[in-house]
Amino acid sequence: MIVALYHFSVKQIRRSAGQSAVASAAYRAGEKLVCNRYGETHDYTRKRGVIHTEIFLPDHAPREYLSRETLWNAVEKAERGCNAQLAYSFDIALQSEFSIEENIALARAFVQEQFVTRGMIADLAVHAPEKDGGVTNPHFHVMTTMRPIEMDGRWGCKQHRVHHLDENGNRMRDASGKLIFNAVPTTDWGRPETLEHWRAEWCRMCNDKFSEKNLPERIDHRSYARQGIEQIPTVHEGPIVRQMEARGITTDKGELNRWIRKTNELLRATRRKIRELAAWIAAVREELERPEQPMLAQLLADYCVIRNAAANSFSYGKQKAKVGNLKRFAEAIAYLNEHELKTVADLDAWLDTVSSELYALTTSMKAGENRTKELKELIRYAEIYMQVKPLIEEMNAIHFKGRREKFRSAHEPELKQFYMAMRKLKEYGISDGHIPVREWKNEIASIKKAHEDAYVQYKSQRDELSRLNQVKHAVDTILKDPAAAKQRSAHETEVSL
């Protein structure tokens, strides 16, 4: 099975992050839309790579919502809160192995079956932008409503209250006299189980298409950990980072992904060697269950005799070959003595030791990578926060509403970045009182130094595996045909005499 590309992410479009549903829809569809709430025009008609757009409505939704501008202005109007959640935004990768028509058909079927049948209004935009070199990167965006549409066409509630009742069935109040209740969602759209279902269904639809076309590729919605794959996932770079890297500009995410790929290759090579040695040890263990099994030193001595017997057939260089055989035999015996390996069982135990050390080493490297990724993201958010903070202070100093709104409009991109950075920092418990950027950078440097030391240790353990492989080859040669080895050994002894 060949692994194909899988990417399926969902986010919320929120006012608290400085976002607008109308602006988001205009960008994804590559259209010019007017936002009535803010009196702003969002023109993305020059955006390239948008190949298909479409709005899907449930049967009971007003037909006027087939207009993108009408739909998302209605959503903006229905959401009154300054921190309102406006819409879900899905970003899903299409498959390069399918034609554009097949990809669009898949996207349309998925949106209809998984979103619209649940009562959601969905705004689809299929993109196929070209990378450098003319290679396309097909994907599609879906914006869906968060409020259900009632049967009469009005917007419904996102949640309803379930009050706590006492033993007499009366509503309970807290110490301040306020009613105690739970806010229960009116739909299952935001549940983790629903997202998992959507991810699995998209995976199934793509794999069915691969099977239909007799292609070997398959995708899997599960994480590496859930699939039982010991591999570090790369981070999503996005179009801006990919464009910078294509122009030769080194980025943090690009560097991180290069390090991850190098580390994954190292891990794969290590696991492959361990599997080969473990399989060999299992085979040798079967031989040990038979009586009168020779010791490792004797097996190596028999192997040296075989090599010398072969050297006798050389027309020249016979003595040099025998000296080389003796040298390698002496080195192998020294290695066994150094590690006190006398039997195949000892070799088995030593392999377990090396395997455990390598596992601990790779686990530590994986943890360091995850922490480095987290710290670099925090530093990026902190830099955005500190750069834009003077603009926030300047805006807050403006007392007239009109001037303040004009200032906000002029600096909308910077303000959106600021609110996003502030939200992310708060998620990590960081306030603007103290943002420890210097400590974060020092920790990254410390992790990098630890990784370099770990890599040196890995190379040393790789040499250990190489020596074990040499011993394995010699012992394996003898154990495959012990009778022939004894005959050759006797013949060599007669020649020597």
316-339 pLDDT, tens digit each = 666 777 677 777 777 777 877 877
Nearest-CA neighbor of 143 among 119, 105, 110, 115? 115
Q: Is 32 in contact with 45 (CB distance < 8 Å)?
A: yes
pLDDT tens sequence across 429-441: 777 667 888 888 8
Kindly report the average pLDDT of the chain as a whole number.
81
**What are the φ and ψ backbone dihedral angles of 481, each rounded to 5 degrees?**
-145, 75
- Between residues 106 and 353, the one the model is more confident about: 106
Q: What is the pLDDT of residue 235?
A: 66
Question: What global pTM score does this model have?
Answer: 0.48
- Between residues 100 and 260, the one the model is more confident about: 100
- Between residues 240 and 42, the one the model is more confident about: 42
Domain with CATH 3.30.930.30 in the chain: 2-147+192-221
Residue 313, pLDDT > 80, answer no
Nearest-CA neighbor of 90 among 22, 10, 29? 10
Report residue 231's pLDDT band, with 50, 70 and 90 as the boundaries: low
Mean pLDDT value of segment 351-370 = 79
Residue type (1 letter), 414: E
Cβ-based neighbour number of residue 192 at 10 Å: 7
Mean pLDDT value of segment 111-126 = 95
Residue 342, pLDDT > 50, answer yes
Report residue 195's pLDDT band, with 50, 70 and 90 as the boundaries: very high
- Between residues 42 and 253, the one the model is more confident about: 42
Report residue 491's pLDDT band, with 50, 70 and 90 as the boundaries: very low
Residue 230, pLDDT > 60, answer no
Residue 269, pLDDT > 70, answer yes
Query: What would the two tokens of residue 208 be?
Result: 């069915």
Residue 226 burial by CB count (10 A; 0-12/13-18/19+): exposed, middle or buried? Answer: exposed
CATH 3.30.930.30 fits 2-147+192-221, yes or no: yes
Residue 272, pLDDT > 70, answer yes
pLDDT tens sequence across 454-485: 888 877 877 777 777 777 777 777 777 665 55
Residue 88, pLDDT > 70, answer yes
Mean pLDDT value of segment 24-51 = 94
Query: What would the two tokens of residue 161 be?
Result: 């209250």
Q: What is the pLDDT of residue 131?
A: 58
Residue 314, pLDDT > 50, answer yes
Mean pLDDT value of segment 260-265 = 77
